[in-house]
Amino acid sequence: MTALMAWGLISAWAGSGQPKREFRGAWIQCVNGQFVGMSTETMQQTLTYQLDELKKDGVNAIIFQVRPECDALYESKIEPWSRFLTGKQGKAPEPYWDPLAWMIEQCHKRGMELHAWINPYRAKTKTTNELANNHIAVRRPDLVFSYDGLFILNPGIPECTKYTCEVVRDIVRRYDIDGLHIDDYFYPYPVAGVPIPDDAQYQADNRGFTVRGDWRRDNVNRFIKQLYETIHQEKPWVKFGVSPFGIYRNKRNDPNGSNTSGLQNYDDLYADVLLWVNNGWLDYCVPQLYWEIGHKAADYQELITWWNSHAANRPLYIGEDIERTAKHPDPQNPRSHQLPAKYRLHQQMRNVNGWVLWYAKAAVDNIGNYGMALRNGYWRTPALQPLMPFIDGTAPKKPRKVKFITDNGRKVLKWKAPKGKGWKDEAVKYIVYRFMPNQPIDTEDPANIVCMTGNTWFVTPDNNGATYVVTALDRMNNESQGVSKVLKY
């Protein structure tokens, strides 16, 4: 299928309205080694280019991997610098920089959120051969077990939960992140004939569980609850997100499961994701639905429908695989790949409030014309983040002293921050809408947004007679009432 064919289908759709609020995320991973060997300058240039392109594509949140194996792509006194940054675990970058701090600044400058992505249990990948002296597996080998070439922090040891929560507390306390994100690695993905070596922990303290699987699930449940509480004790506005494997349970194991036949979160990874959603132990959920529509074991349409029906107690976003979507034809239209069909499914799911792209570079590289389709079609208008009233549902006050001034011949719209006490009331960014003469004022249509900014000014285009409306957003993207001003020369 040519890019032209794909775009022809998209442009036919593009006349309808778009949601004002939608999570549009992209994962930037380091564990694939894409940054190893890069100088500080080259890595910053690479990330700058990716962020600029993703911004053009409509992305409003970056999920950036900062802890792939109990290490750090940020300045940490707890864990060593990552080899996925410098090539050698424990070695600081030269020239020195802090990738997490830098990414936060760059994302916020572009109006994007930054969610710090950690792997909670993995302590060593298969390809890592040397650990730093201050790595947890070296300092405390009793806290990890080996499994199929990996080192895993043992979920059956409460001290491991405490340790990871300390790492997360340190990140949340010192960095202005918008979210803390974990992926699908809980107990290790099972390998046939390789048992999990946790007999000693189960025999020492099974807490009354007579089934080992129930005990393992309870270990993970306790961790998720404690991690959620740790984040919100430190900063209540930092969102905790989990991205589980795409199948919760198969129908053959559970009547409420999906009509699938793949690996299961509940039975194989000991991750009871629906319990976390229903108990409010996370703030958003991103199941990884990386399969195509029509996949025999894990059909995308079956799974997005299942998650829409079962995981609505917290904001639900869908993890999308760009390469597989671009590779497979639409079963109903072989001339197109599956992006148009998947987008239609999103529109039909009332509880699905966003996407996360796997992975960011695939969008930047425009595989299958995917990035351009977002930029010119599906995400062509800006989007605010979905609301989370369970954290805070009260809007800030509206901006003050909104006026036009002339600066070096330019008309500049200026305002002052509204008064507010505490994180729930303070404005952190602003939305500027523009309406041409005789155009109805409609701030619910995102096509009217011309700027999303942390500044308290906006240089206006030369639109005499246009009406501009400024609103304020707080930490949770609650939007104030607007203040309007007409531009007159």
What confidence tens digit (pLDDT) does each residue in 202-239 have?
999 999 999 999 999 999 999 999 999 999 999 999 99
197 pLDDT higher than 60? yes
Average pLDDT over residues 361-368: 98
Question: 3-class secondary structure for the chain?
Answer: CCHHHHHHHHHHHCCCCCCCECEEEEEECCCCCCCCCCCHHHHHHHHHHHHHHHHHHCCCEEEEEEECCCCECCCCCCCCECHHHHCCCCCCCCCCCCHHHHHHHHHHHCCCEEEEEECCCEEECCCCCCCCCCCHHHHCHHHEEEECCEEEECCCCHHHHHHHHHHHHHHHHHCCCCEEEECCCCCCCCECCECCCCHHHHHHCCCCCCCHHHHHHHHHHHHHHHHHHHHHHHCCCCEEEECCECCCCECCCCCCCECCCCCCHHHHHCCCHHHHHHHCCCCEECCECCCCCCCCCCCHHHHHHHHHHHCCCCCEEEEEEHHHHHHCEECCEEEEECHHHHHHHHHHCCCEEEEEEECHHHHHCCHHHHHHHHHHHHCCCCCECCCCCCCCCCCCCCCEEEEEEEECCEEEEEEECCCCCCCCCCCCEEEEEEECCCCCCCCCCHHHEEEEECCCEEECCCCCCCEEEEEEECCCCCECCCEEEECCC
How far is residue 50's CA from residue 424's CA, in Å, rounded to a whole number?
A: 32
Q: Phi/psi at 157 (nearest 5 deg)?
A: -110, 115
How far is residue 393's CA from residue 289's CA, in Å, rounded to a whole number?
A: 30
Residue pair 291/300 in contact (Cβ under 8 Å)? The answer is yes
How far is residue 396's CA from residue 481's CA, in Å, rounded to a whole number?
A: 8
Quick one: pLDDT at residue 13? Answer: 38
Quick one: pLDDT at residue 37? Answer: 86
pTM value surpassing 0.75: yes
Residue 464: pLDDT band (50, 70, 90) is confident
Average pLDDT over residues 300-321: 98
Quick one: pLDDT at residue 167? Answer: 98
Q: Which amino acid is at 57?
A: D
Quick one: pLDDT at residue 8? Answer: 39
11 pLDDT higher than 50? no
Residue 463: pLDDT band (50, 70, 90) is confident
Strands 400-407, 61-67: pairing kind: unpaired
How far is residue 482's CA from residue 433's CA, in Å, rounded to a whole number?
A: 9
Residue 253: pLDDT band (50, 70, 90) is very high
Residue 10: pLDDT band (50, 70, 90) is very low
Quick one: pLDDT at residue 460? Answer: 92
pLDDT tens digits for range 56-85: 999 999 999 999 999 999 999 999 999 999
Quick one: pLDDT at residue 6? Answer: 42
Residues facing residue 473 across a β-bridge: 429, 479
Residue 23 token pair: 């999570």
pLDDT tens digits for range 375-431: 999 999 999 999 999 999 999 999 999 999 999 989 999 999 999 999 999 999 999
Residue pair 457/405 in contact (Cβ under 8 Å)? The answer is no
Quick one: pLDDT at residue 1? Answer: 38
173 pLDDT higher than 60? yes
How far is residue 43's CA from residue 35's CA, in Å, rounded to a whole number?
A: 7
7 pLDDT higher than 80? no
Strands 122-124, 150-153: pairing kind: antiparallel
How far is residue 25's CA from residue 27's CA, in Å, rounded to a whole number?
A: 7
How far is residue 74's CA from residue 66's CA, in Å, rounded to a whole number?
A: 7
Q: Phi/psi at 327 (nearest 5 deg)?
A: -80, -35
How far is residue 266's CA from residue 272's CA, in Å, rounded to a whole number?
A: 5
Strands 239-242, 284-285: pairing kind: parallel
Residue pair 232/280 in contact (Cβ under 8 Å)? The answer is no
Mean pLDDT, the chain, rounded, equals 95
4 pLDDT higher than 60? no
Percent of the chain with pLDDT over 90: 94
Strands 449-453, 429-435: pairing kind: antiparallel
Quick one: pLDDT at residue 16? Answer: 44
How far is residue 340's CA from residue 13's CA, in Å, rounded to a whole number?
A: 9
15 pLDDT higher than 70? no
150 pLDDT higher than 60? yes
Quick one: pLDDT at residue 462? Answer: 75
Exposure of 453 in the CB half-sphere (CA atoms within 13 A): 15
Candidate from 288-297, 343-352, 460-469 with smallest mean pLDDT: 460-469
pLDDT tens digits for range 82-126: 999 999 999 999 999 999 999 999 999 999 999 999 999 999 999
Residue pair 342/348 in contact (Cβ under 8 Å)? The answer is no
442 pLDDT higher than 50? yes
